[in-house]
Amino acid sequence: MDQWNLFIKKIIDALGFADYTVDLNEEHRHGTVFIHDSPALVKEHLPALVESVNYLAQLVARKNGEQPVFFDINNYRRERENLIVELVRASARKALVTKQEVPLPAMNSYERRLAHVELAANPFVMTESVGMGRGRYVVIKPIDAVASAVAGVSPLAERRDESEVHLPIESA
């Protein structure tokens, strides 16, 4: 892990920053970087900076046959994750109330995965990625429990595409 610490420090130095801290978590293969100088510049370019540093780390890891370390800079990724989770939860509530599909904004694969994982245990909605390339996004779809029960399919079964699982339908 010392090589990753040195690697990230060289990148941050090459970018012209002098006041920063780097912390690595070897067990989770995750690093955090806090750049203290040029706050306006960092804030303006933070998404590109995080993406670029992680891209370089992945290239180096692949070249050396190692698992990559993922870096968060100035807590950008953590704050973005929290924002996405809140957006997904609110959109799921909206889908349930309106009984209509709710599309989310275009997201990268990591962010789409966060959306899918967040709602995976919710039996009342399902998620689907739609689109291509950078325009790919998640759609949250309500699962109408009443319609599913009448059709003889559990909302969970419909969600997981296990149509062989049926709820017993009792006649009145």
- Looking at residue 152, what is its pLDDT? 53
Residue 73: CB atoms within 10 A of its CB come to 24
Burial string for 36-45 (b: 16+ CB within 10 Å, else e) reads: eeeeeebeee
- pTM (2 decimals)? 0.69
Amino acid at position 3, single letter: Q
Alpha helices in 71-108 (DSSP H): 76-98
Task: Work out how many domains the chain is built from and give that number.
Answer: 2
48 shares a domain with 114: no
Average pLDDT of every residue of the chain: 84
**Which helix (H) or strand (E) covers residue 20, if one does?**
strand 20-25
Instruction: Report yes or no on 164 lying in a domain.
Output: no
Cα–Cα distances (Å) from 144 to 19, 96, 154, in that order, read: 54, 8, 10
Instruction: Report yes or no on 171 lying in a domain.
Output: no
Domain around 40: 2-74
Instruction: Report yes or no on 12 lying in a domain.
Output: yes
- For residues 52-61, give the mean pLDDT: 92
